[in-house]
Chain A
Amino acid sequence: MSAIATSPAPRRARAQTAGRQETTWVVAVVVLLVGLLAYFCLFVPDFRELGVSGILALSEQFLFVGLIALGEALVIFAGEIDLSTGAMSSLSGIVMATLWQHGLNIWLAVVVALVAAALGGAINGLFVTRFGIYSLLVTLGTQFIFGSVATAVGGSTPPYNFPGSFVDFAGTGTVGPIPDQLIIFAVIAAAVWLLVARTRYGRGLVLVGYNRAASRYAGVNVQRTLFTAFVLSGLLAGVAGIFVSGFYNAARDDIGDSLLLPAITVVVLGGVDIFGGRGRMSGVIIAAFLLGFLNQGLLISGQSSLAATMVEGIVLVLCLILKITLNRRAGVRLMELLRRRFGNVQQIPAVPDA
Chain B
Amino acid sequence: MVSVATLEGAVRSRDPQGTRYVGRSITKSFDGATVLSQVSISFEAGEIHSVVGENGAGKSTLVKIMAGIYQPDSGELLLGQHRLSGLSPRSAQHRGIYLVPQEPALMQALSVTENLFVGVLRRGRLRFNVDWKSMKREASAYLDRVGLDIDPEVKAEELSVAQQQLVECARALVHRCVVIYFDEPTSPLTGKEAGTLFEVMGSLRADGYTLGFISHRLDEVLAISDRVTVLRDGAKVLSAPRSQIDRAGLVMAMVGRELTTRERVRPHVDAAGRTEMLAVEDLTSLPHFEGVSFSVRAGEIVGLAGLVGSGRTEVAETIFGLRPTDRGSVRVEGKLLEHRTPRACIDVGLVYLPEDRSRHGIFAEVEVERNVTAGVIPQLERFGPLLKPAAERLMAKQATEKTAVRMASLDTLMKALSGGNQQRAMLSRWLLAGPRVAIFDEPTRGVDVGAKDDIHQLVVQLAEEGLACVLISSELSELTITCDRVLAMYEGHVVGELSGAEIADTSLGALVVGAHVK
Contact = CB atoms under 8 A, between A and B. Distances in A.
Chains A and B in contact, CB within 8 Å: yes
Q: Which of A200, A217, A277 has the most CB of B within 10 A?
A: A217
B387 A199 contact: yes
Interface in A205-219: 206-207, 210-211, 213-219
Interface in B325-374: 339, 341-346, 352, 354, 359-367, 370, 373-374
A216 B413 contact: no
Interface in B231-288: none
Interface string A19-48: 100000000000000000000000000000
A199 B385 contact: yes
A38 B271 CA distance: 74
A132 to B, nearest CB: 15
B321 A351 contact: yes
B29 A8 contact: yes
15 contacts: A7-B73, A12-B32, A12-B416, A16-B408, A199-B387, A200-B380, A203-B377, A203-B387, A210-B364, A217-B342, A217-B354, A217-B361, A221-B341, A346-B359, A351-B322
B155 interface: no
Contact of A211 (B323, B363, B378, B408): B363
A271 B377 CA distance: 25
A349 to B, nearest CB: 5
A7 B415 CA distance: 14
Given A3-B88, A19-B411, A349-B317, 18 more contacts: A5-B72, A15-B413, A16-B408, A198-B387, A199-B386, A200-B378, A200-B387, A203-B374, A207-B363, A210-B365, A210-B366, A213-B359, A216-B322, A217-B342, A217-B354, A218-B429, A277-B366, A351-B323
B83 interface: no
A353 B386 CA distance: 25
B86 interface: yes
A249 B438 CA distance: 61
A278 interface: yes
Nearest to B323: A349
Given A19-B367, A19-B411, A218 B374 contact: yes
A210 B361 CA distance: 12
A207 B373 CA distance: 11
Contact of B360 (A217, A219, A221): A217
Nearest to A278: B365
Which 3 pairs across A and B sit closest by C-beta, in order of nearness? A5-B71, A15-B416, A219-B342
Contacts of B361: 214, 217
A1 interface: yes
Contacts of A351: 321-324
Interface of A: 1, 3-5, 7-8, 12, 15-16, 18-19, 194, 198-200, 203-204, 206-207, 210-211, 213-221, 277-278, 346, 349-351, 353-354
A3 B73 CA distance: 12
Contacts of A217: 320, 322, 342, 352, 354, 360-361
A326 to B, nearest CB: 13
Interface residues of B, number: 53
Contacts of B354: 217
A31 to B, nearest CB: 23
B90 interface: yes
A219 B322 contact: no
B341 A353 contact: yes
A8 B415 CA distance: 11
Interface of B: 29, 32, 70-73, 86, 88, 90-91, 317, 320-324, 339, 341-346, 352, 354, 359-367, 370, 373-375, 377-378, 380, 382, 385-387, 389, 408, 411-413, 415-416, 429
Contacts of A19: 367, 411-413
Contacts of B375: 218-219
Contacts of A18: 365, 413
B413 A349 contact: no
B71 A4 contact: yes
Contacts of B324: 350-351
B377 A220 contact: yes
A54 B343 CA distance: 52
Nearest to A4: B71
A222 B408 CA distance: 31
Nearest to A6: B71
Contacts of B380: 200, 203
A154 to B, nearest CB: 38
Contact of B88 (A1, A16, A198, A203): A1
Contacts of B364: 210-211
A15 B90 CA distance: 30
A214 B353 CA distance: 11
A210 B411 contact: no
A203 B378 CA distance: 10
B25 to A, nearest CB: 16
B386 A194 contact: yes
Contacts of A350: 324
A216 B342 CA distance: 7
A225 to B, nearest CB: 11
Nearest to A12: B416
Nearest to B28: A5
Given A200-B378, A204-B377, A219 B415 contact: no
B365 A219 contact: no
Contacts of A215: 374
Nearest to A13: B416
A194 B388 CA distance: 12
A175 to B, nearest CB: 26
Nearest to B314: A349
Contacts of A199: 385-387
A1 B91 contact: yes
A215 B73 CA distance: 31
B313 to A, nearest CB: 10
Contacts of B412: 15-16, 19
A279 B239 CA distance: 50
Contacts of B71: 3-5
Nearest to B430: A218
A213 to B, nearest CB: 5
B385 A15 contact: no
Contact of A1 (B90, B339, B343, B389): B90
A9 B378 CA distance: 36
Nearest to A14: B416
A8 B354 CA distance: 24
A354 B363 contact: no
Contacts of A220: 343, 374, 377
A220 B408 CA distance: 27
A45 to B, nearest CB: 45
Contacts of A7: 73
A11 to B, nearest CB: 8
A277 B342 contact: no
Contacts of A211: 359, 362-364
Nearest to A353: B341
Contacts of B320: 217
Which of B91, B322, B324 has the most chain A CB within a 10 Å cutoff?
A: B322
Contact of A349 (B322, B377, B408, B411): B322
Nearest to B72: A5
Contacts of A3: 71, 86, 88
Contacts of B345: 219
